[in-house]
Each structure stands twice: as C-alpha cells, then as structure tokens.
Amino acid sequence: MWTEEQWAVIEPKRMSSVVVAAPGSGKTTVMTEHMAQIIAARLIPAQRILAMTFTRQAAEHMRQKLRAHKELRPEDVESCAMGTFHAVFFRALLEADRPVYPVLTQRDQYALMADAVCEVLGERRAVSAYELQSYLTLHSRMVGGQVPDIDAPTRKILQAYALRKRASRRWDHDDILLASLDLFQQPCDPSIRLFQARYILVDEFQDTNLVQWNLLTSLLARNEALGFVVGDDDQSIYGFRGASPEFLQRAVEALPYARQHLLTLNFRSDRSILRHAAQLIHHVKTRVHKPLRGVRDAEGVCQAYEVTDRTEQWVLAHGLLTSAVRRGYSVACLARTRNQLAAAWAALQQLCGTEWRVMANRMEFRTFHDSKGKEWDVVIVLDMAVSHDVNLADADEERRLIYVAMTRARHELHAVVPCTVEGRPRRPHPFLHEAGIPLVKASPRGRRLRFEIG
C-alpha cells in the first residue's frame, strides 16, 4: 500500500522529521498515518500529541481520518490536540488566564482599515475592498517579520489601524500569535495543555512566517519535544503574508534530532504535465532539490494557446470546457485574480446559453492561490499574458505560483495567452517559455460573444 519513501516517513521513531513533499505525493495522508502509527505503537501518549494546520478544514479532515482508522481507539483520537496555529495558541492564552479580545471578522477589519485610511488621508471617500486588503496584507507582512518598503502615508495608515484595534479592544489573527510569544517569556505553567505536548506536528509548513517559526521552535525547546513538519518549499506562495520557504529549508538544522525525508512520487499528473512543471521549478534559485517523478504511464496534454484577445480566449475556453464535461472529466478554470475569474464566468455563462446550469455544476473557478491542495482532470489557466514592460518583483514566488497552478491537473493542462487585453498589447508569460510548454496560435471558431467583457 505504501511506497518505500512513504513508509520511511510513516514508521514510528523517536526523532524529529522534516518531510519535503512533491505535489500529489500524498503528504497529508502520510502525516495522518504517521500520527496513527505513533499512537497505535504507544510510542508517545495520545494526550501528549499536538497537530497544527493552517485551516480548520484541514484539522477536521485529519481528525476524521484518524477516527476512521481501524487501529485506533476513539478515546485515543479524542485525546490528541488538533487545530489551526491560531486556535491552538488562542486556547493556550485562555488557559493561561491572559487577557484576550474578540477576534475581528473580515468585515470588521475592513471597516477599521477604511476609517484609518480616511483619517490619515484627511478625506471621506469610498475605499475599495482591493485597497483595504492590500493594506491588511502589508500589516500582516510586518507582523510576520517582513518589513516592506512603504511610504510614510502608508505607514501612518497601518499605525492608525493598530491604534483603532487597541481602542476597540479587538484582535485580528496576527495579534493572537504576537500575544502568544509572551507565553515563552514567563515561567512555564505545566497545567496548560500546550506545554504538555511531547510530539508536535505541523502540516503545510511552507506557509510558516517568522512569528510562527519562533513560536514552534520556542515550544519545542520549552517542552523538550520532538517535531514533525511536512511541506513543499516549491509551493510556498504566501510571501505577501510573510510566509517563507526558508523555514522549511532550515528546519532540519533547527528541530531536535531531525532527519529530512523526501516524497518525490507524484500520483496525480500525467507525464507531460510533470515534465514541464519540473522544468519550470528548476529555475528557482534557492530550494530543496528533489526529483518530480510520476507513476502514471499516460503522456497527457500540456499546451499553451495564443489568441487575439480575451473574447477569443473565452471562446477557446468554452470549447475546452465543453469537451471535458462531455468526457465526464472534472474541470477547473484558474486565474490570478477574482476579477479575471468574474469576467470569465460572465463570458462563459453567455457562451453556454441554456447549457449553463449543467456546465456550471461540473466546473470550478479558482484563483491560483485558492487552487492549492486541489486537483482536477482538466485545468485551463486563463490570462497567461503580461505587458511588454512587466517587471516581476519576486520572480521565484511567481514561478512557485504558476507551478502550483500547473500541478493541479491530472490529465490535461491548457494555458491561454490573449495578445491584447482592453486594447493593450500583451506577450506570453515568460515562465511558459521557461517551462518549455509548446505555444501554438489558435483561432477558435464557434459561438461568439455579443460584447467583450473587460
């Protein structure tokens, strides 16, 4: 059932593990099975095990898998502590009787940030959700250890936001982690469950920022605990939040008695998709070097198409979607931004006509970031064009982002390159060339849009 690589990770052992896993290699399944084997072997008591994830859904999925495991007793599974980074440390703050405050919803954050913008700029105006999210992202980057090069008005806006939070006695998620750092400056209270953990596991470790790294290493040291972290530095795509692949790369030196394991077998994608994805990611300057090997014999499809404009892009996408659905394939349209997806949705709805309801139930629309952790038989990547004077500020993060989009596909990967967008000339994204993806000129025929959506 398990490959030799996987069993080397799963096998219970009294040491720390750093697992660097290729996309489609089953890393979360392997981590969950490793937990099960540790519990079943009674190597570490279940109540001394802590597993942390980056989403509630991932934590719940892990718990459900353990509950269904035939070698585990229900009471052992319920004894394990599992949750997101934020939930685990928020619970510890409560147990430590530290002052905690209600956590802001996204809407509340937007409202406070909008007030901060208007206060600093001295004008009442409508502030777009995009602008508000940009400020909140900068704030998270600063908390996460990155100090972006920002101008004086922006810095004042972020300071005003922080003051408004404090005045309203509210927290955002960043405040939970910052307050948790103070737990390690005080004498240890052994009654706090966090400080009872002797085996600490973290999934998706490439999404870790500096504060989370400091929390984990401090916790391992204080508890004299062993660690197990799993991730893929090639899929680190949240640099704008302060996450860095550096922490996964450093983990083997930082964790006690640590050994690095590689999971290199991809069970998801056909050969051509893996070949071009590997060719792209090899251009990243600093990474854990690992092969990307497939188990599937099929060659699959990996193709880029150059079309005149976005209208032709959507006509081509409609044809690809229709073909995939008729063959019973799952299919997704991926794009960088939600605005691009909204435009594609509106155009494809018109092109599908009366078939839209059936088609819409068989396909998904996701941003590159939202697609992470998911997979489809057919993936169509839209708007793979850039302006002629584009300057990719963080080229390696851009490579990783496109790599994530590419490796969502099982059998077919189609990238579409419109030569003009809103009347402005565009050129193929340079990383299509780096990946060696064949580019052909396409002249889609068939149903036409009555208008072009910008």
Task: State yes or no: 239 annotated in a binding site.
Answer: no
Q: How many Å is the Cα radius of gyration of the chain? A: 24
- Distance in angstroms (rounded) separating the CA atoms of residues 169 and 63: 33
- Distance in angstroms (rounded) separating the CA atoms of residues 232 and 211: 19
Pairing mode, strands 199-202 and 226-231: parallel
Task: State yes or no: 27 annotated in a binding site.
Answer: yes
Task: State yes or no: 74 annotated in a binding site.
Answer: no
Whose CA is closest to 113, among 41, 53, 165, 76? 165
Task: State yes or no: 26 annotated in a binding site.
Answer: yes
Task: State yes or no: 328 annotated in a binding site.
Answer: no
Task: Tell me if 445 sits within 8 A of 345, measured CB to CB.
Answer: no
The phi, psi pair for 234, rounded to 5°, reads -70, -10
Whose CA is closest to 290, among 228, 256, 245? 245
Task: State yes or no: 22 annotated in a binding site.
Answer: yes
- Distance in angstroms (rounded) separating the CA atoms of residues 241 and 406: 22
- Distance in angstroms (rounded) separating the CA atoms of residues 100 and 202: 24
Task: State yes or no: 134 annotated in a binding site.
Answer: no
Task: State yes or no: 423 annotated in a binding site.
Answer: no
Residues contacting residue 398 through CB under 8 Å, at least 6 positions apart: 392, 431
Whose CA is closest to 50, among 97, 6, 96, 89? 89
Task: Tell me if 334 sits within 8 A of 405, measured CB to CB.
Answer: yes
- Binding annotation for ATP: 21-28
- Binding annotation: 21-28
